[in-house]
């Protein structure tokens, strides 16, 4: 009898549609849970040995683990596990394997970031809203060429976005990273102190990991240091920005606009002032949700589960906060 694998939160149905699901079925009996795990009956969970968790859509804590007495392994898609109580998992001896090597987000997140940059400079949110309301607005946009882009975080996403902006759109690109290094990197992109980057950039894009140091990094003080009329884009983590401070900066006219794919609390509250601002482009955390990502997630889950069952799962695949 094959062990049971429970797949959570496949809201789009792309995991179920992946060709790698058939491979997974050769090594495990698969169940999809079409509703939150809190709503599952205990008899649905009692024999589950493996979980496949889709990004951070379900909090996995001691309460959840107590209902999964035979859980051994969490196949965590993506490279983070902010939603998993690692201490509770360790107490139970539950192994957490991360899908760190997904390639598609390295393309999809920078693509979305550039789409936001173009949309804000050419005032597409305002134009779209006016046209849908039967208007013919007189709008004046700006070109990207020659404008300064400040990139916060030169990891995989930030580096690729910086290259696109520099090479395809002739933007002047500068960057800041948490090392505090003020020297140009091997990519030839100048590193500036944070204050100088904020003060001189026409658009700032956030590509940092969420950490105690980056949480609320972009606060009212930083927003006040930004160049008047600049744009702010965040496709990284919502908690990096102090959201009320951002709302105040947008309402005051200090910033020309913002593009946000991530928020401190998701889903974004229906009554959030951000939803009614014409100069703000909002997307519901879709930077990573492309078909190619789901297929890679399923492929990695098959590989990791196979290796776990064979006793060959590498320590480099495991979550070690």
Angle at 46 between CA 53 and CA 58, to 5 degrees: 25
Identify the structural domains of the chain with CATH numbers, from first to last. Answer: 4-103+290-317 (3.40.50.720), 105-282 (3.40.50.720)
pLDDT score, position 319: 86
34-79 tens-digit pLDDT = 999 999 999 999 999 999 999 889 999 999 999 999 999 999 998 8
Longest dimension (CA), the chain: 68
pLDDT score, position 31: 97
Residues of the chain short of pLDDT 50, as ranges, are: none
pLDDT score, position 37: 96
Please tell me which residue in 57, 122, 285, 307 is annotated as part of the active site: 285
pTM (predicted TM-score): 0.90
Determine the Cα–Cα distance for residues 269 and 277; give it in Å rounded to an integer: 14
Determine the Cα–Cα distance for residues 305 and 132; give it in Å rounded to an integer: 49
Please tell me which residue in 157, 237, 243, 296 is annotated as part of the active site: 237
- Phi then psi dihedrals of residue 251, to 5 deg: -65, -35
pLDDT score, position 257: 97
pLDDT score, position 105: 85
Which neighbouring-strand residues pair with 230?
Answer: 255
Determine the Cα–Cα distance for residues 58 and 67; give it in Å rounded to an integer: 14
Beta strands in the chain (DSSP E): 4-8, 29-33, 48-53, 73-77, 95-99, 148-152, 172-176, 190-191, 203-206, 230-234, 255-260, 280-282
To the query of whether residue 80 is one of the catalytic residues in this protein, the response is: no
Question: Which strands, in side-by-side order, build the sheet including 230-234?
Answer: 190-191, 172-176, 148-152, 203-206, 230-234, 255-260, 280-282
Please tell me which residue in 12, 22, 266, 291 is annotated as part of the active site: 266
Question: What single-letter DSSP state applies at residue 18?
Answer: S
To the query of whether residue 285 is one of the catalytic residues in this protein, the response is: yes
Question: What single-letter DSSP state applies at residue 241?
Answer: B
pLDDT score, position 181: 65
């Amino acid at each position: 009898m094959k062990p049971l694998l429970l797949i959570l939160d496949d809201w789009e149905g792309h995991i179920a549609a992946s060709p790698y699901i058939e491979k997974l079925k050769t090594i495990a009996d698969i169940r999809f849970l079409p509703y939150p795990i809190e709503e599952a009956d205990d008899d649905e969970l009692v024999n589950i040995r493996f979980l496949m968790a889709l990004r951070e859509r379900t909090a996995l804590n001691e309460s959840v683990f107590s209902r999964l007495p035979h859980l051994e392994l969490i196949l965590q898609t993506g490279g983070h596990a902010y939603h998993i109580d690692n201490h509770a998992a360790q107490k139970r001896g539950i192994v957490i394997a991360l899908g760190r090597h997904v390639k598609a987000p390295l393309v999809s997140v920078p693509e979305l970031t550039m789409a936001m940059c173009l949309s804000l400079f050419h005032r597409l949110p305002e134009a779209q809203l006016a046209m849908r309301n039967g208007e013919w607005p007189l709008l004046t946009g700006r070109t990207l060429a020659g404008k300064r882009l400040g990139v916060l975080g030169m990891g995989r996403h930030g580096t690729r976005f910086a290259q696109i902006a520099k090479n395809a759109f002739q933007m002047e690109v500068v960057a800041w990273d948490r090392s505090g290094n003020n020297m140009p990197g091997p990519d030839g992109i100048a590193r500036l102190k944070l204050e100088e980057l904020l003060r001189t950039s026409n658009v700032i894009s956030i590509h940092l990991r969420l950490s105690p140091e980056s949480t609320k990094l972009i606060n009212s003080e930083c927003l006040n240091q930004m160049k008047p009329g600049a744009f702010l884009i965040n496709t990284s983590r919502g908690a990096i920005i102090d959201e009320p401070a951002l709302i105040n900066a947008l309402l005051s006219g200090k910033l020309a606009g913002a593009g946000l794919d991530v928020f401190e609390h998701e889903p974004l509250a229906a009554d959030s002032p951000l939803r009614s601002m014409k100069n703000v482009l909002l997307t519901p955390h879709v930077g990573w949700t492309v078909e190619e990502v789901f297929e890679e997630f399923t492929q990695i889950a098959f590989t990791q589960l196979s290796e776990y069952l064979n006793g060959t799962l590498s320590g480099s695949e495991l979550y070690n906060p």
